[in-house]
Structure 1
Amino acid sequence: MKVLLTGSTGYIGRRLKQRLLKNKNIQLRLYVRNKKTLSSNLPANIEVFEGDTFNKDNLEKALKDVDVAYYLIHSLSRSDYKNLDKQSAQNFVEIAQKCGVKKIIYLGGLGVKNEQTSEHLLSRIETGEILSSNKNIQTLWFRAGVIIGSGSTSFEIIRNLTEKLPIMTTPKWVNTKAQPIAVDDVLNYLEEALVLKEKQNLIIDIGSEQLTYKEMMLQTAKALGLKRVLIPLPFLSITLSSYWLNLFTPVQFKVAKALIEGLKSEVIIQNNHAKKYFPNIKTISYLEAVKKAVKEIETNQVISRWSDTDYSGKIWDKDHDKEIADAIFLDRKELSFNNLSKEQVFKSFTSIGGKDGWFAYDSLWEIRGFIDKLLGGVGLHRGRKNQYKLSVGESLDFWKVVEIKENERLLLYAQMKVPGTAWLEFKIVENRLIQSAYFYPKGVLGRLYWYSLIPLHYLVFNNMINSIIKKAEKF
């Protein structure tokens, strides 16, 4: 069986890819926006095609001779995501029919169409309807609500609120019912769908027990060994709630607002197809799912995170080396490391950020992250997936890893709100560490921004390169 996996660098896709790689009965093919975001140790027999669902020629090459295709794509981070999602799904099902694809497996969201349905949820429903519209292709449409796993958006929001706020004033949506599900259970369903014998289109609602969001937060507190008090307030609007999430969780305002709007309506199972067609899959409880997620975080076993993928594609549309060459402003520091190996220095600068922070001036970074949050940006607290390993495409606080070369180079692209474009580069040349901050300003404001930060840059960047060498001595 030849299987195409889209979204393989996303939260669900990255985990599903690991499972499918172990399946000896399939020939796996990946369709990605940028090959650099894939692990360098992929098996040689894995086919990789580059492109997106808006490039029909590339999409046709990827779908040629495919039996089953996983559709794990959405454009939530784009302002016009609703129309983009429709066009993406339409292109996919059109080319899939042309290529003779027999089955599409799609993961959407729980919910029903009514006057309260949020745009985000409505978009997921419309995508499923489009994918199911072709009579020549079977579509298995899985619908999940709150997915609980290390690095998932829902879990990160609930965990951060629970950890940071002993007493929470909450909007009335905390009493909305949902049916959460562990990420491993979602993967079980998606994997088993490959060999399902049924031939007709199916909508399969999946989830564990019914809980309100208030109950989820209290159970999360229990799993973390914390005591928490929730005080619902009826006057907290969607916008205020979105700012609340933006400030106290790693999720940026635009994503928080889309998610909060979806909490107005219940997301509960509408059919028994999961039990009927997948009787061998027994979902674990919410509390078990939270405990498992916490353990993965504590033991650095997080496989994927919600922030790993740039759904807009803007980062990967750039030629970063060319743009760096055109940067108007540059802050460069160099330091020799005669008594250290390249491996030691590389390990030191690739362990920067996250829980270990940014050396002596962490408070300045924290202030910058807080300002970014106030502006609706990503902020500093996305952290990193693993404190000791980095990969291309991964989020590192308010940076994105766009290139990494073993024992040679790390290039970070700024995702904070700035009046221009910024990069931070660490590079090893012979026995020297070269640390460079690049900035391409946008208008007069961009230039004023750079000049105003020169004194802070002097403190921060001088300390940073010296601290990297000092830390390298410990490895």
Structure 2
Amino acid sequence: MRVLVLGATGYVGSRLVPHLLEHGHDVVAASSSEPRPDRFGWDERVHAIRCDVTDPAAVLAAVDGVDAVVYLVHSLDRSDFSDRDRVGAETVAAVVRESGVRRVVYLSGLVPDVPETDLSAHISSRLEVERILLGSTDEAVALRAGVVIGAGSTSFEIIRQVATLFLVQPVPTWMRSSVQPVAVSDVLRAIDDALAEDGPRGAVDVGGPDVVAYPDLMQVVGGEAGLSRLRVPAPVAPTGLVGLATALATTAPFHTVTALIESLHHDMVCRPGHTWQPRSGGPLVGVEEAVRRALTPLYAGPEGALPSDPAWARGNPLLDVLPLPAAGRTAARLALHRVRTLLPGA
């Protein structure tokens, strides 16, 4: 197939493009910024283009001759992400209907089993985009995933940095919700299945084999990193304050962190009977194995770090060789990141 990947330079997109090539597809890799194939190690087999999903003319040109669209665009790093994501989804859906593209795959988010009025702004936006894109063609599928595990994944990096930085970790009582993480390798497999002629349609949940509480996930990350940390209950911890503190304690984009923290009040697990099962069979990657891969230096699989990952998610070569404890190295990295953000042109 000829597959258009919208949001190809993001975390999942940067892993998906070579994955699709390995499986024999032609790939059009689209991003909102000027394409830089050399940054991602893409060769001449990848047709890299610039495409703003809110621009109908750009989207129409991008879908020319493609068989399927994989939509990976999310704007959590902006305060107005809901509005921008809505406009982008509406634009792409309209062009898909006009152009006759048959297959659309959207990487959505797990939706907790609560009234929609109780959903966070982040999940509400994902659900809105999902519904718009599912209405674009009968062969559309929304793959709902929660925490995606892999070096460079925003949700994983936030957990890793918090689990590393603090020797004593306050855990709000409302953060005991369950989560069903999924390795990025399995996300790629789910996209494979969604692109298949007889693949799933509609909204399908994607999760790994393990369901854990958020503090337990932090413990897994710390344990695989060889770190001993003490977690203590924090009965009084407003969501806004926790979001602000987490944003200040990590190098991830501010609006992304606060939006994700807001989503931690509810269980984020797959729905029985609506969960993706690999067509090829074989086991899903467990949470400990996925974390181990993500923490292994120079790991060559999708969970490993890539040079193209955003600077905030990458280590610092100088700090990495200094004889510092893990918490000290993370603190130094955070301080350096803060200084850089204050410098003109940084």
TM class, shorter-chain normalised?
Answer: 0.7 to 0.9
Q: Secondary structure at the match of 1:39?
A: helix
For 2:69 and 2:299, locate their aligned partners in 1 and report how far apart those are by CA, in whole Å.
34
For 1:82 and 1:58, locate their aligned partners in 2 and report how far apart those are by CA, in whole Å.
21
Distance 1:152 1:46, change over 3 A: closer
TM-score normalized by structure 2? 0.86
Query: What is residue 124 of structure 2 aligned with on the other side?
Result: 122
- Residue 58 (str. 1) matches residue 62 (str. 2): no
For 1:291 and 1:305, locate their aligned partners in 2 and report how far apart those are by CA, in whole Å.
21
Please say if residues 205 and 271 of structure 1, whose CA atoms lie closer than 8 Å, have aligned partners that are also in contact.
no
Q: Deviations over 1:383-424 (max 9, x none)?
A: 8xxxxxxxxxxxxx469xxxxxxxxxxxxxx6x246xxx237
Which range moves more in the overlay, 258-267 or 40-49?
A: 40-49
Select the structure with the greater relative contact order (CA < 8 A; seq sep ≥ 6).
2
- Displacement after TM superposition at 1:196 (Å): 4.3
- Residue 264 (str. 1) matches residue 226 (str. 2): no
Aligned amino acid, residue 195 of structure 1: A
Q: Secondary structure at the match of 2:259?
A: helix
Q: Secondary structure at the match of 1:35?
A: coil
What aligned pairs does 1:102-113 form with structure 2 within 5 A after superposition? 102-112=102-112, 113=115
**Equivalences, count:** 330
- Displacement after TM superposition at 1:223 (Å): 1.1
Query: What is residue 134 of structure 2 aligned with on the other side?
Result: 132
Aligned amino acid, residue 334 of structure 2: H
What percentage of aligned pairs have identical amino acids? 27
Q: Secondary structure at the match of 1:49?
A: strand
- Displacement after TM superposition at 1:271 (Å): 3.7
Distance 1:103 1:263, change over 3 A: same
Aligned amino acid, residue 228 of structure 2: K
Query: What is residue 306 of structure 2 aligned with on the other side?
Result: 303
Question: What RMSD, in angstroms, separates the aligned Cα atoms of the two structures?
Answer: 2.9
Query: What is residue 223 of structure 1 aligned with on the other side?
Result: 224
Please say if residues 109 and 127 of structure 2, whose CA atoms lie closer than 8 Å, have aligned partners that are also in contact.
yes
Query: What is residue 150 of structure 2 aligned with on the other side?
Result: 149
Q: Secondary structure at the match of 2:152?
A: coil
Please say if residues 7 and 31 of structure 2, whose CA atoms lie closer than 8 Å, have aligned partners that are also in contact.
yes
Query: What is residue 423 of structure 1 aligned with on the other side?
Result: 345
Please say if residues 148 and 182 of structure 1, whose CA atoms lie closer than 8 Å, have aligned partners that are also in contact.
yes
Query: What is residue 201 of structure 1 aligned with on the other side?
Result: 201
For 2:256 and 2:180, locate their aligned partners in 1 and report how far apart those are by CA, in whole Å.
21
Q: Which runs of 5+ in 1 are unaligned?
A: 310-352, 358-365, 371-378, 384-396, 400-413, 425-475
Q: Secondary structure at the match of 1:423?
A: coil
Q: Which runs of 5+ in 2 are unaligned?
A: 320-327
Aligned amino acid, residue 103 of structure 1: R
- Displacement after TM superposition at 1:36 (Å): 4.0
Distance 1:61 1:276, change over 3 A: same
TM-score normalized by structure 1? 0.64
Moved beyond 4 Å, runs of 4+: 297-301
- Displacement after TM superposition at 1:297 (Å): 5.9
Aligned amino acid, residue 78 of structure 1: R
What aligned pairs does 1:268-279 form with structure 2 within 5 A after superposition? 268-276=269-277, 278=279
- Displacement after TM superposition at 1:279 (Å): 5.9
Query: What is residue 38 of structure 1 aligned with on the other side?
Result: 37
Q: Deviations over 1:348-401 (max 9, x none)?
A: xxxxx92416xxxxxxxx9xx99xxxxxxxx96398xxxxxxxxxxxxx469xx
For 2:213 and 2:161, locate their aligned partners in 1 and report how far apart those are by CA, in whole Å.
18
